């Protein structure tokens, strides 16, 4: 009962934000935000790179190889956060039939996928000097790979349905089911083979991170976070234009030549 | 009333059994596919018993998983094409219940026989006898999960051309835990590790979970695909 | 139970893809009444019917059955509707008889009515082929089988999309009289058909009135 | 006249490419399936590099084989359902030629990309780098055979409900030789055996053979299943 | 080239499953003539048409085109026939235009006639939807697309199975006049239809005369 009224109030909230988060409104608002976010991203990125590549000293055992961490780790983190965002957007879009949320979800998917891919690539680039091989079936690596497949599946489904609403709802269901499974997948992979001999190599035995590594890492993470936000808004805006192309406010916009 | 529901579920269940049975090949083929994959491996990998034994649990489970994945297309597809699915949506009973019945029928015709046949193939792959029990048990617990989870992508890809392959793309990541737990359980029982009980109980828990959400999710998916 | 059904649609609008097909569509249907929905190809008739029986979600508008919102009634409503679309919804693997029996079991609530199956078969003239697999039926025979379901379901509201397709002259007659009986028993019917058929007391309903842009 | 034939063949080829392309996922998915099967194995067999290396050639080839088998359903099935196959039979040109064009399109969209992607997965399976060349080559020779042979059962099982699985059932025995030659070639190159040239040339010969009879056989099969 | 085609069928009998549908069926068709094949559902009309255009093999009987056995002519004959069956033979993924272009390339021998595509589209009133994927078409629009092929193929012998299904009144008119022109250009046509349509100079052909047992 209590939770039901909770649901009801959530519904009320969503409907409210929905009314004010109407595509047109969002489009204009986002249009104003994008430049600032973009600027912030660039600044953080440059700062992070400076700190990471010059300010931070070489590692006593890895030399400079470790610096790829400043790209790898933030991307790895973002890959997971992006999926949560994707699932939340999708759920809102499906349950409360909010079109804006659908678009946000659709816009998130490729971003998350690229974060994941970057984490995979940089990771294996790092793996070569560290472990002498591109790939090992370590738990973390494996779960990241599967996460990538989930993203690909989501996008494939989106792409293969052309009625936008149906595409949104179908892929939303997939994303939600995926969320139910992600923790299970995650832990299954972590328990995997741990009952007997430990997986050949793990990431856990690293030198504890020093300040000189931590600071650039945090800055870079912020940078990628803002990169995500920027791209999210940009992609959503274009998606809005595509979906609303027949509405007259978009027509006006196009006539205005912007 | 709920008696009526049960009655309808049974009707759907029986109907699917009958239909699949008439598609005489249907039942057998998914099985035969299982058999073939497991037989292809010795051919491809080479006959060294030791190697085989190492990979036996894995091969058996992957084969089971692929066989189920393939058969998923037949869960809803033909009903969708001939329009009987759109009729099912018009039934006076909660769709998820009827879908559950369909899934049950699917499992009885694919997962179950597969689990029962597995020991024969295990012998081919030189799996130690002591692991047989665990193999069958793990498949009995695991294959229903495969059918349940698989129902969701199967429903989502209806009417989507090229759905056949798309299903496998969507479903295989979700299958990972089942694969890992299952194969691990068998491997453990085969004496490459500790007790397999842990893995089996994990499978059981997972089955309970999927039982609770899969029918609901796939009926929602059906409504979307038929919109 | 003779349905005292009252089916009312107000300000309904539907879209396919990104194009709005019709908007502000309204009508009322009382017990024993029927509508013949008309309009050129591609106007949105099928879309309309699917929206009315809850298979697809309209953009807006409210559809009421016995005064209550269809969306609130959910299964309560579907339990009152019988829909025959472009597709026949026949299981090719099952025999004609089995097809109908399954329908009776799955779709007829409460104690089933197997008796109806026999009568329905006789009515659509498929008794002879009762035990043949449905996929061996000819186009028109398939259609008849699909229509036989109407007699079994005993639903007050019939929604039929091109029911006369592939039917020979005699069957067209037969079907119209079946619909006629349904109406005089207080049933409602919405029929889309390009083909002419005579059914006393059916109202024409030009969909075109509610579409601005034509495809 | 024969110019007209070539023209028609090109038209069929382009049409299929276009259709499959429009089914945007179609191309990718068969690939991703390949990727995932190769991923499933380490999950099931366990991460030990040594074990993996031993089974790598077998796994890669079995995966390629399964990916092709899956995609076979799409070779004729949808054309059959929507009746365009019926129309193709009414074309003024020898059917086998047009079928050959369809098969070519199928290969370009499934086998080819799969062969090109394979090295990436080989890395995952710890296949020695020196074997990469042979792997790609063997797949380039082998996958067209798979598409060609597969076309026959794909045509035969049209209209047979549940054909999907039946196809794989019929086709896998025919695939065995390809599988063995291919896997052996790679294994040999990986240094566990003799020179891989012998196997590759066998594959080549086999390809020539199938090229000669497969289109004819599958067009005959088409006529039968459309009767 | 105006076809002086003479199409003659003698002592034809066909079966489905184990049941003989009709036997000893014979007729002749000369340039500019058309037959309206009639008969109740399940009599064997579709079977007959499929046999005539070589899609299924009859039990016995000989079918001659310009005096030569069809079986001997093989592709020579199929190059003269245009068949539109219960199925539309449309590629849902391709746009309406692409569907027709492919048809032109694959089915029209020698130098193609892309010009026809435009006119055909206009003729069946699908110009507006030329660039939409065919699977988005409504039932009737799909049927029209299937029929547009007739105008592109330019084959002397048309074999049409229920061509009027799902067509609205206007399109039915249109199609009948198209067939009329085909005939006056010396073309032949075999039409199965339960639906009435007026086409001057078409002969009725009761299939029932050649069937002993009725289904
Ligand atoms: C393809 C190879 C790799 C993949 C897919 C991968 C994946 C990941 C993922 C998913 C995370 C986030 C973990 C979490 O926050 O829960 C992560 C974090 C991290 N990875 Fe990798 N990784 C790879 C290779 C490497 C290598 C070779 C190293 C260096 C030895 C490395 C060092 C780290 C570090 C230091 C972190 C942050 C520590 C933490 O978050 O706990 N990774 N990686
Ligand atoms: N999936 C789809 N996506 C986009 N548009 C569609 C889709 N399905 C149908 N349409 C369009 O919607 C319109 C209405 O289609 P609908 O099938 O309702 O027409 P209809 O009135 O039933 O025509 P007919 O009399 O031929 O059956 C058509 O113009 C069609 O092109
Ligand atoms: N595959 C089959 N096996 C056995 N019998 C069949 C098969 N297909 C059709 N039949 C039977 O053959 C008879 C003729 O079928 P056909 O489709 O030619 O009838 P039709 O005259 O076209 O009927 P309609 O007017 O309904 O299209 C029917 O009685 C049907 O039941
Ligand atoms: Mg319609
Ligand atoms: Mg017919």
The tens-digit pLDDT sequence of chain B (227 residues) is 456 788 888 888 888 888 877 776 666 777 877 887 888 778 877 777 777 777 888 889 999 998 888 888 778 988 888 888 988 888 888 899 999 999 999 999 889 999 999 999 898 888 888 889 999 999 999 999 999 999 999 999 987 766 667 888 899 889 998 998 898 888 888 875 556 888 899 999 999 999 999 999 999 999 998 87
d(CA E8, CA E50): 16
C-alpha of residue C160 to centroid of ligand 4, in Å: 10
Cross-chain Cβ contact E83/D87 below 8 Å: yes
Residue C30 pairs in a beta bridge with C6
A144 chain-B contacts, CB cut-off 8 A: none
User: What is the residue with the minimal CA distance to atom 11 of ligand 1?
Assistant: A76
Mean pLDDT over the full length of chain D: 82
Cα A248 to Cα A18, A251, C162, C203, E5: the distances in Å are: 20, 5, 36, 37, 58
d(CA B174, CA A175): 11
Work out the average pLDDT over E188-193.
Answer: 95
H or E element that contains E34: strand E34-38
D127 and B CB contact within 8 Å:
no
Residue whose pair of structure tokens reads 């025959």 in the numeric block: C84
Mutate to test the pocket of ligand 1, among A67, A203, A204, A221 (most ligand atoms within 8 A of CB): A203
- DSSP secondary structure code for residue B47 in this structure: -
Q: How many contacts, defined by CB atoms under 8 Å, are there between A and B?
A: 88
E135 and C CB contact within 8 Å:
no
User: What is the residue with the minimal CA distance to atom 7 of ligand 3?
Assistant: C136
Least CA distance to A142: which residue of chain D?
A: D43
> To probe the interface with D, which of E84, E93, E139 has the most D CB atoms within 10 Å?
E93
Q: Is the CB of E46 under 6 A from ligand 3?
A: yes
Greater confidence (D36 vs C97) lies with C97
B40 chain-D contacts, CB cut-off 8 A: 62, 65, 172, 176, 179
d(CA E192, CA E101): 27
**Neighbour tally for C188: CB within 10 Å:** 25
d(CA A232, CA A78): 13
Check: CB of residue B37 under 8 Å from CB of residue D66: yes
E139 chain-C contacts, CB cut-off 8 A: 41, 46, 86, 162
Query: What tens digit of pLDDT does each residue of C17-48 get?
Result: 778 899 999 999 999 999 999 999 999 999 99
Greater confidence (D157 vs C208) lies with C208
d(CA B102, CA B214): 12
Least CA distance to A163: which residue of chain C?
A: C17
Give the distance from CA E50 to its chain's centroid: 10
d(CA B157, CA B170): 9
- Chains contacting C (3 or more CB pairs within 8 Å): A, B, E
- Chain A nearest CA to B4, separation (Å): 29
Work out the average pLDDT over D61-89.
Answer: 81
Across the interface, which of C17, C138, C165 has its CB nearest the CB of E42?
C138
d(CA E125, CA E119): 10
Give the distance from CA C111 to its chain's centroid: 23
Q: Are strands E7-16 and E60-65 parallel, antiparallel or unpaired?
A: antiparallel
State the DSSP string of D101-121: HHHHHHHHHTHHHHHHHHHHH
Q: Is the CB of C166 under 6 A from ligand 3?
A: yes
Query: What tens digit of pLDDT does each residue of C107-152 get?
Result: 876 665 677 888 999 999 999 999 998 988 999 999 999 999 999 9
Q: Is the ipTM of this complex over 0.85?
A: no
Check: CB of residue D210 under 8 Å from CB of residue D147: no
- Chain C nearest CA to B104, separation (Å): 16
C-alpha of residue A101 to centroid of ligand 2, in Å: 27
CA nearest to B5, candidates B103, B76, B96: B96
**Neighbour tally for A194: CB within 10 Å:** 14
Check: CB of residue A23 under 8 Å from CB of residue A244: yes
C-alpha of residue A75 to centroid of ligand 1, in Å: 9
Across the interface, which of A146, A192, A196 has its CB nearest the CB of B194?
A196
Cross-chain Cβ contact E41/C141 below 8 Å: yes
d(CA B179, CA B28): 23
Q: Binning pLDDT at 50, 70 and 90, where does residue D226 land? A: confident
- Chains contacting D (3 or more CB pairs within 8 Å): A, B, E
- Candidate from B13-22, C49-58, E120-129 with smallest mean pLDDT: B13-22
| Confidence at residue A159, expressed as pLDDT on a 0 to 100 scale | 85
User: What is the residue with the minimal CA distance to atom 25 of ligand 1?
Assistant: A123
B213 chain-A contacts, CB cut-off 8 A: 177, 180
Side-chain-side CA neighbours of D73 within 13 Å: the count stands at 27
- DSSP secondary structure code for residue E38 in this structure: E
Cross-chain Cβ contact E149/D87 below 8 Å: yes
Spans in chain A with pLDDT lower than 50? 1-3, 195-202
CA nearest to B151, candidates B54, B16, B44: B16
Check: CB of residue D19 under 8 Å from CB of residue D76: no
d(CA D208, CA D104): 14
- Chains contacting E (3 or more CB pairs within 8 Å): C, D
Residue whose pair of structure tokens reads 């003024």 in the numeric block: D92
Across the interface, which of D36, D46, D52 has its CB nearest the CB of A193?
D46
| Coil, helix or strand at residue C112 | coil
| Coil, helix or strand at residue D2 | helix
Compute the 3-state secondary structure of chain B and give helix, strand, coil in percent, each to the nearest 5.
85, 0, 15
| Confidence at residue A198, expressed as pLDDT on a 0 to 100 scale | 41
d(CA A231, CA A250): 21
D55 and A CB contact within 8 Å:
no
Check: CB of residue C33 under 8 Å from CB of residue C3: no
- Please name the residues in contact with A88: beta carbons below 8 A apart, sequence gap of 6 or more: none
CB burial string A4-31: b at 16+ within 10 A, e below: eeeeeeeeeebeeebeebebeebbeebe
Structure tokens at E188: 């032949």
| Confidence at residue A88, expressed as pLDDT on a 0 to 100 scale | 94
C92 and E CB contact within 8 Å:
no
d(CA C152, CA C196): 26
**Neighbour tally for C40: CB within 10 Å:** 21
- Please name the residues in contact with D216: beta carbons below 8 A apart, sequence gap of 6 or more: D96
Least CA distance to C17: which residue of chain A?
A: A163
Across the interface, which of B166, B193, B220 has its CB nearest the CB of A196?
B193
pTM of the model: 0.86
For chain C, what is the radius of gyration of the CA atoms? 17
Mutate to test the pocket of ligand 2, among E136, E145, E164, E171 (most ligand atoms within 8 A of CB): E136
Interface of B with C in 147-206 (CB under 8 A): none
Mean pLDDT over the full length of chain E: 88
d(CA B140, CA B111): 7
Residues in chain D: 227
Cross-chain Cβ contact E40/C170 below 8 Å: yes
- DSSP secondary structure code for residue D90 in this structure: T
CA nearest to D69, candidates D101, D124, D106: D106
| Confidence at residue E113, expressed as pLDDT on a 0 to 100 scale | 65
Find the residues whose C-beta lies inside 6 A of ligand 1.
A 69, 72-73, 76-77, 119-120, 123-124, 126-127, 130, 140-141, 144, 203, 206
| Coil, helix or strand at residue A205 | coil
Residue whose pair of structure tokens reads 């590549």 in the numeric block: A53
Query: What tens digit of pLDDT does each residue of A12-47 get?
Result: 777 666 665 678 888 888 889 999 999 999 999 999
Check: CB of residue B75 under 8 Å from CB of residue B110: no
Residue C189 pairs in a beta bridge with C34, C158
| Per-residue H/E/C for chain E | CCCCCCEEEEEEEEEECCEEEEEEEEEEECCCCEEEEECCCCCCHHHHHHHHCCCCCCCEEEEEECCEEHHHHCHHHHCCEEEECCCCCCCCCCEHHHHHHHHHHHHCCCCCCHHHHHHHHHHHCCHHHCCCEHHHCCHHHHHHHHHHHHHHHCCCEEEEECCCCCCCHHHHHHHHHHHHHHHHCCCEEEEECCCCCCCCCCEEEEHHHHCCCCC
User: What is the residue with the minimal CA distance to atom 4 of ligand 2?
Assistant: C17
- Chain C nearest CA to A162, separation (Å): 8
> For ligand 2, what atom is nearest to the CA of residue E137?
31
| Confidence at residue D165, expressed as pLDDT on a 0 to 100 scale | 59
Cross-chain Cβ contact D42/A200 below 8 Å: no
| Coil, helix or strand at residue C68 | strand
Side-chain-side CA neighbours of A165 within 13 Å: the count stands at 20
C-alpha of residue C190 to centroid of ligand 2, in Å: 18
| Confidence at residue C194, expressed as pLDDT on a 0 to 100 scale | 93
- Chain B nearest CA to C4, separation (Å): 19
Structure tokens at D39: 């991923």
- Please name the residues in contact with D153: beta carbons below 8 A apart, sequence gap of 6 or more: D72, D166, D167, D170, D171, D174
Check pLDDT > 60 for residue C153.
yes
- Chain D nearest CA to E201, separation (Å): 28
d(CA B61, CA A119): 29
Check: CB of residue A229 under 8 Å from CB of residue A178: no
Query: What tens digit of pLDDT does each residue of D35-52 get?
Result: 888 888 888 887 777 778
Q: Which chain A residues touch B if contact means CB-CB below 8 Å? A: 146, 149-150, 152-153, 156-157, 160-161, 165-166, 169-171, 173-174, 176-178, 180-181, 184-185, 188-189, 191-193, 195-196
| Confidence at residue A89, expressed as pLDDT on a 0 to 100 scale | 94
| Coil, helix or strand at residue D159 | coil
> For ligand 3, what atom is nearest to the CA of residue E162?
27
A243 chain-C contacts, CB cut-off 8 A: 18
Q: Is C72 exposed, middle or buried (0-12, 13-18, 19+ CB in 10 A)?
A: exposed
Query: What tens digit of pLDDT does each residue of D103-140 get?
Result: 998 898 888 989 998 998 888 888 888 888 899 999 99
C-alpha of residue A72 to centroid of ligand 1, in Å: 7
**Neighbour tally for E38: CB within 10 Å:** 18
Structure tokens at A41: 């991203």
Structure tokens at E49: 């048409």
Greater confidence (C167 vs C113) lies with C167
> For ligand 1, what atom is nearest to the CA of residue A204?
41
C-alpha of residue C144 to centroid of ligand 3, in Å: 13
């Amino acid at each position: 009962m209590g939770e039901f009224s909770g649901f009801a109030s959530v519904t009320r909230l969503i409907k409210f934000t929905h009314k004010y988060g109407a595509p047109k409104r969002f489009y204009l608002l986002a249009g104003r935000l994008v430049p600032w976010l973009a600027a912030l991203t660039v600044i953080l990125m440059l700062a992070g790179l400076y700190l990471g590549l010059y300010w931070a000293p070489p590692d006593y055992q890895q030399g400079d190889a470790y610096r790829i961490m400043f790209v790898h780790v933030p991307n790895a983190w973002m890959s997971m956060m992006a999926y949560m965002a994707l699932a939340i957007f999708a759920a809102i879009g499906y349950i409360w039939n909010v079109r804006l949320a659908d678009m946000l979800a659709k816009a998130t998917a490729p971003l998350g996928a690229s974060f994941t891919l970057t984490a995979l690539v940089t990771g294996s680039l790092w793996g070569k000097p560290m472990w002498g091989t591109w790939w090992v079936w370590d738990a973390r690596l494996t779960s990241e790979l599967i996460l990538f497949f989930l993203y690909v599946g989501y996008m494939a489904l989106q792409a293969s349905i052309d009625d936008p609403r149906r595409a949104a709802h179908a892929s939303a269901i997939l994303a939600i089911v995926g969320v139910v499974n992600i923790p299970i997948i995650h832990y299954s992979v972590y328990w995997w083979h741990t009952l007997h001999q430990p997986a050949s190599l793990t990431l856990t035995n690293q030198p504890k991170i020093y300040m000189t590594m931590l600071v650039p890492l945090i800055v870079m993470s912020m940078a990628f976070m803002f990169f995500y936000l920027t791209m999210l808004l940009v992609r959503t805006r274009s998606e809005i234009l595509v979906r609303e192309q027949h509405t007259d406010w978009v027509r006006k916009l196009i006539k205005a030549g912007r | 009333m709920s008696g009526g529901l049960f009655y309808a579920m049974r009707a759907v269940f029986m109907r699917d059994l009958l239909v699949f049975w008439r598609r005489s090949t249907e039942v057998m083929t998914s099985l035969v596919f299982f058999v073939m994959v497991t037989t292809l491996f010795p051919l491809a990998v080479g006959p060294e018993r030791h190697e085989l034994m190492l990979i036996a649990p894995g091969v058996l489970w992957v084969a089971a998983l692929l066989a189920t994945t393939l058969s998923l297309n037949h869960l809803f597809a033909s009903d969708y094409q001939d329009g009987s699915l759109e009729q099912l949506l018009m039934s006076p009973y909660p769709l998820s219940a009827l879908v559950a019945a369909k899934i049950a029928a699917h499992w009885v015709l694919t997962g179950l026989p597969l689990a029962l046949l597995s020991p024969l193939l295990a012998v081919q792959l030189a799996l130690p006898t002591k692991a047989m029990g665990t193999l069958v048990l793990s498949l009995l617990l695991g294959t229903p999960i495969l059918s349940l989870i698989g129902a969701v992508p199967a429903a989502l890809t209806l009417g989507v051309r090229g759905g056949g392959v798309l299903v496998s793309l969507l479903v295989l990541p979700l299958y990972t835990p089942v694969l890992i737990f299952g194969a691990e359980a068998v491997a453990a029982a085969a004496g490459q590790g500790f007790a397999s009980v842990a893995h089996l109980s994990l499978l059981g828990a997972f089955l309970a979970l999927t039982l609770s959400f899969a029918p609901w999710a796939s009926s929602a998916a059906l409504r979307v695909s038929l919109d | 139970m003779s349905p005292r059904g009252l089916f009312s649609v107000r300000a309904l609008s539907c879209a396919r893809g990104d194009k709005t097909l019709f908007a502000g569509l309204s009508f009322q249907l009382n017990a024993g009444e029927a509508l013949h929905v008309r309009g050129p190809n591609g106007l949105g008739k099928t879309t309309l019917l699917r929206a009315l029986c809850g298979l697809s979600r309209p953009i807006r508008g409210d559809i009421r059955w016995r005064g209550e919102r269809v969306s609130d009634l959910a299964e309560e409503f579907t339990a009152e509707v019988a829909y025959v679309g472009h597709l026949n919804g026949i299981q090719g693997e099952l025999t004609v008889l089995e097809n109908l029996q399954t329908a009776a079991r799955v779709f007829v609530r409460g104690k089933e009515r197997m008796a109806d199956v026999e009568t329905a078969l006789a009515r659509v003239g498929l008794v002879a082929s009762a035990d043949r697999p449905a996929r061996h039926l000819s186009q028109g025979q398939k259609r008849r089988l699909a229509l036989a379901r109407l007699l079994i379901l005993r639903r007050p509201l019939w929604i039929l999309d091109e029911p006369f397709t592939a039917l020979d002259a005699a069957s067209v007659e037969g079907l119209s009289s079946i619909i006629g009986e349904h109406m005089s028993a207080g049933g409602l019917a919405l029929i889309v058909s390009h083909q002419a058929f005579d059914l006393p007391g059916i109202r024409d309903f030009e969909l075109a009135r509610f579409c601005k842009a034509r495809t």
